[in-house]
Structure formats: C-alpha cells, structure tokens
Amino acid sequence: MNNAKLIEELPKGAIVQRGGGVYSITPRMPLGQITPDQLNSINSVVQEFNLSGVRVTAGQRLKIQGIPKDTLSAVLDQLGPVGESCKYYVQACPGTTACRLGMQDSMAFGAKLEDFLNGYSLPTKLKTGVAGCSMCCSESLVRDVGLIGKKNGWTVAFGGNAGKHVREADILAEDVSEEKVFEIISKALDFYSENAKIKERTARFVKRVGIDAVKKAVFGSAQK
Ligand code: SF4
C-alpha cells in the first residue's frame, strides 16, 4: 500500500471528518467478518495513537475515527493489510452457514460477488446486499445490487436505495443460478457504467432511464 498516495487521494483511503483536521479509516472486513488478529491490530492502533475510538457502521464494518493527519501515515503503516479499504463492499447475512431460515449460502456467494465487483470501475459508490432468504436481513431491496436466496435460486434486484430518497429495487430476475446472477449483474452494471452521469447512483439512474431500458440491456427485451 502506498500511504503517501493514499493520503494524497483523500478521501479514497481515509475520510475527512466533520470540522476537518481528523480522518477516519474503514478497514476491509469482507462480509462483516473479522479475525481475532485483525481485531487486535485495530485495537492496538487505537490505544497506541490515543484515537477517539471505533464505530460499527451500517455496512457491517469498523470505522477507526479521530486520526490526526500527521499520524495517518503511521496508523496505516501499523495496520498494514488490515487497513486496506475495499472498493465495493458487500453486505451479507449468515444464510445457510448459521441461520435456521437460510435458503442459500449468502456468505459464500457474497465473497464471490465482492471479488467480481472489485474488478469494476463504476461511476460512483455501489452498495450490495446478499440475503440468504426472503427476510432480507441484508437489506437487499434497498441496495444498488441486491440478491435474495430462495429455494430454487436467487432473486436479482437492481436500483434500490435507502437514506433520504428511499427507492425499492426493481426485480430483474427470479430463481436464477449463481452463474446466471453474474451474467445479469454484469450486463446491468455495464449498461449503468456506460450511461450513468458522474456520481449518479443506480436508483437515480433507473428512475431516469426506466427499468425497461435496463431489462432490455440485460435480456434483449423489457421482458425477463
Ligand atoms: S435474511 Fe434470512 S437467512 Fe439471512 S439472516 Fe435473515 S433470516 Fe437468516
């Protein structure tokens, strides 16, 4: 990791906090999981640099807060790979690995999806939720890309958003295989990347171009 470059390109690796002068870092925590060693690394930098603390974010990550700019480089150095941020993180529930209601392995699928998404360069941030059943604990219907595990496969949702302008995602396909999910997402994201305005999230994009245009790009017609 090139710390000088990371700091120069703020807020890519570190985010300036309200009021300026201090920064936060959100280390990569794939699918909300963290090992004891990673936890120890985070704890030790917080204690050693007397930082204000750590916050659990809505996206299942730990945010190290209150880092003065002059210690940012040292903090990142000490964290090493633990401090690396993730371009497009995936939020996933335990699914069949631990939940009695799980219909699909949302953790395993979420890990593959994160690898897949990190090969993209999209117009702006992308939030993704993978749920192991229709209870949607990973908020798949209010995410840019949402997956819901069901008995016969996956439901693929696109264009959802939480926050100020809530938008329920449109369903692109139901009961599809893992392989088909990647094909659908790939086509939807290619269409989005090629046609979205700068910083336009998928929810506003779908509202502007219409979901039929997205379906046509994915399936060749507005019908699934
Ligand atoms: S979405 Fe379903 S499988 Fe996932 S944690 Fe919630 S109830 Fe369990």
Using CB atoms within 10 Å of the CB of residue 217, give its burial: 0 to 12 exposed, 13 to 18 middle, 19+ buried. middle
Question: At 211, is the pLDDT very low, low, confident or very high (cuts 50, 70, 90)?
Answer: very high
17, 53 Cβ separation under 8 angstroms? no
120: tokens are 């993209």
- For ligand 1, mutation pick of 60, 96, 135 (most atoms within 8 Å of CB): 135
Atom of ligand 1 nearest to the CA of 132: 3
More confident residue, 221 or 135: 135
pLDDT of residue 201 exceeding 70: yes
Predicted local distance difference test score (pLDDT) of residue 185: 97
Atom of ligand 1 nearest to the CA of 99: 8
Q: Where are the domains of the chain?
A: 3-83, 90-219
CA–centroid distance, residue 104 to ligand 1 (Å): 9
Task: Please give the share of the chain, as a percent, with pLDDT higher than 70.
Answer: 91
124: tokens are 């702006």
pLDDT of residue 37 exceeding 60: yes
Predicted local distance difference test score (pLDDT) of residue 110: 95
Q: Give the Cα separation of 116 and 118 in Å (integer).
A: 6
- For ligand 1, mutation pick of 101, 136, 147, 150 (most atoms within 8 Å of CB): 101
Q: Using a 6 Å cutoff on CB, does residue 132 contact ligand 1?
A: yes
Q: Using a 6 Å cutoff on CB, does residue 173 contact ligand 1?
A: no
Q: Report the range of poorest mean pLDDT among 102-106, 139-143, 153-157, 161-165.
A: 161-165
Residue whose Cα lies nearest atom 8 of ligand 1: it is 99
**Are 3-83 and 90-219 in the same CATH fold?**
no
Residue whose Cα lies nearest atom 5 of ligand 1: it is 93
Q: Using a 6 Å cutoff on CB, does residue 129 contact ligand 1?
A: no
CA–centroid distance, residue 72 to ligand 1 (Å): 37
Average pLDDT, integer, range 88-109: 94
To the question of domain 90-219 being in CATH 3.30.413.10, the answer is: yes
Predicted local distance difference test score (pLDDT) of residue 11: 41
Average pLDDT, integer, range 2-6: 55
Indicate the pTM of the whole model: 0.83
Mean pLDDT of the chain: 89
More confident residue, 120 or 183: 183
**In the chain, how long is the greatest CA-to-CA distance?**
58
pLDDT of residue 14 exceeding 80: no
Q: Using a 6 Å cutoff on CB, does residue 95 contact ligand 1?
A: yes
Residue whose Cα lies nearest atom 6 of ligand 1: it is 137
3-state SS of 57-107?
A: CCCCCEEEEEEEHHHHHHHHHHHHHHHCCCCCCEEECCHHHCCCCCCCCHH
CATH class of 3-83: alpha beta
Atom of ligand 1 nearest to the CA of 136: 1
